[in-house]
Chain A
Amino acid sequence: MSSKVSALDMPDVPMGQLPEHLHLQRTRVVCKADAPVHTEGIQYSGAYASIGVDNSVGVDSFCKSFKVKVVRLTKEEIEFDMIGIDASLANAFRRILIAEVPTMAIEKVLMVNNTSVVADEVLAHRLGLIPLNADPRLFEYLSENDAPNERNTIVYKLDVSCKKGSPRVTVKSDQLKWLPHGSELQMDSHDISSKAKSYTSFSCIQDSLPEFSKKPLGVKFDDIIIAKLGPGQAIELEAHAVKGIGKMHAKWSPVATAWYRMLPEIALLKEVTGADAEKLVKKCPVNVFDIEDIGNAGGKKAVVANPRTCTLCRECIRGVNEELVELRRVKDHFIFTIESTGALSPEELFIEAVKILEDKCDRVISELS
């Protein structure tokens, strides 16, 4: 029992600076054994007014404290850290990356002949999910009133058959041929005198446009199995791809997935030495802890070597009698991972997502006085 101290002799609460435990509460989520604690973000500017600490964040203080750090960048994936933003911004980026960045995907499928075991609509559904290698920024949206032309549609053809007597054929996505001239099928016209119209009205060959002549618009992955044909079966169809967003249908989502997590921070509440240190190091499946030798006596101490790999499996706090480790998450440090399906590279995807969020903000401004 600590000795009683008169209230007048106690040290002053430092004005203008948050005491330790409140700073922990404001900036860290503590993951206890049963549930995380202090998860809500304290953004209210007057939250600590009684202590004299101003919690407001202006644009300048945001700009000063904001940092980005790219950790890994490949053609298909990016992992980067964003420090100084709030959870709502991080979540908004994740939502926009999944549902609102536009892509091209097959929407209309004109069936000429389908004698395979895969039903028409199932085949069309599968074709819609195939990722296409087309940059959606070069295309416009196709609405109901527009005619499909070379600026808003990409036409593909699939024409495979399996001859009687030959072994089974697997239809893979590389057999989808791009038709730069537009649709080859002709619409029925009751008027005999008029010329036969095709389903799309391309005014010029898509191949001749400068953007597409160097990079042919095919599918991104060649080995996606579309259907399997037995002897005597055939598939002949024409597919039209248009621009859309993930909110309409998941086939237009440009990411395999996009996710974020908060930076883990592990604190050792007391010094762990000797056999206990070895046990602690062995418990962690991702090697967060490491042994450090202290002094000449050969004593061992456990230290936190790699907090970033912590996956919150809670093995280090499970079944212990006394609290040795505290698992925390830093509230404003987010580790983003974006896996692209291939049309746009992952860093371009993130920049598009920021542009889309800016457009949203502009649309939401009230035009009232």
Chain B
Amino acid sequence: MNAPDRYERFVVPEGTKKVSYERDTKIVNAASFTVEREDHTIGNILRMQLHRDPNVLFAGYKLPHPLQYKIIVRIQTTSQSSPTQAYNQAIDDLDKELDYLKKGFEDDKNRYEEKLRQGY
């Protein structure tokens, strides 16, 4: 009765932005990004990639409530970078890594099928 519709988990409604940004008033170089209609799948990966960046001092994500389908990513960086820059850099790095991963998988799958065909 109170459960939201299933498509709410991934369909962004008209008028709301997918990603919104809020600077932290009390700490320099810190910001929160609210990503609508996403969950742990992308949140944990983003957090992991942000940790790898040497300019990032703090990176974390949370789901404020399991029935509200959004994540809040909080980033604090050193003065040499900004949270937006760290966030965009993390996504770019992820894109490159996923490309490489896909190519690596296809190559190995072709190699395996070749070996099968040759009867080893």
- A201 in contact (CB, < 8 A): no
8 Å CB contact of A66 from B52, B101, B106 = B101
- Output the nearest chain B residue to A356 by Cβ-Cβ distance: B41
Q: Which of the segments A123-131, A284-292, A294-302, A358-366 contacts the partner chain? A: A358-366
- Given A366-B21, A366-B88, check contact A360 B104 (CB 8 Å): no
Docked pose: A96 CA to B41 CA in angstroms: 8
- B48 in contact (CB, < 8 A): yes
- Given A45-B53, A368-B84, check contact A361 B113 (CB 8 Å): no
- Given A56-B52, A351-B106, check contact A63 B100 (CB 8 Å): yes
A-B contacts at CB below 8 angstroms, number: 125
Docked pose: A44 CA to B102 CA in angstroms: 26
Report yes or no: B41 in contact with A80, Cβ–Cβ below 8 A. Answer: no
- For chain B, residues 102 to 116, give those with C-beta under 8 angstroms from any C-beta of chain A: 102, 104-109, 111-113, 116
**Mask of B20-53 contacts with A, CB within 8 angstroms, 1/0:** 0100000000000101001011101111100111
Please tell me the number of chain B residues within 8 Å of chain A, measured between CB atoms.
Answer: 47
- For chain A, residues 27 to 49, give those with C-beta under 8 angstroms from any C-beta of chain B: 41, 43-46
Q: List 22 A-B contacts (CB under 8 A).
A: A45-B53, A58-B93, A62-B100, A68-B105, A69-B108, A82-B101, A89-B45, A91-B41, A96-B41, A247-B6, A248-B7, A347-B105, A351-B102, A351-B105, A354-B102, A358-B98, A361-B91, A364-B35, A364-B46, A365-B19, A366-B84, A368-B21
B positions within 8 Å CB-CB of A = 6-7, 9-10, 18-19, 21, 33, 35, 38, 40-42, 44-48, 51-54, 56, 84, 87-88, 91, 93-102, 104-109, 111-113, 116
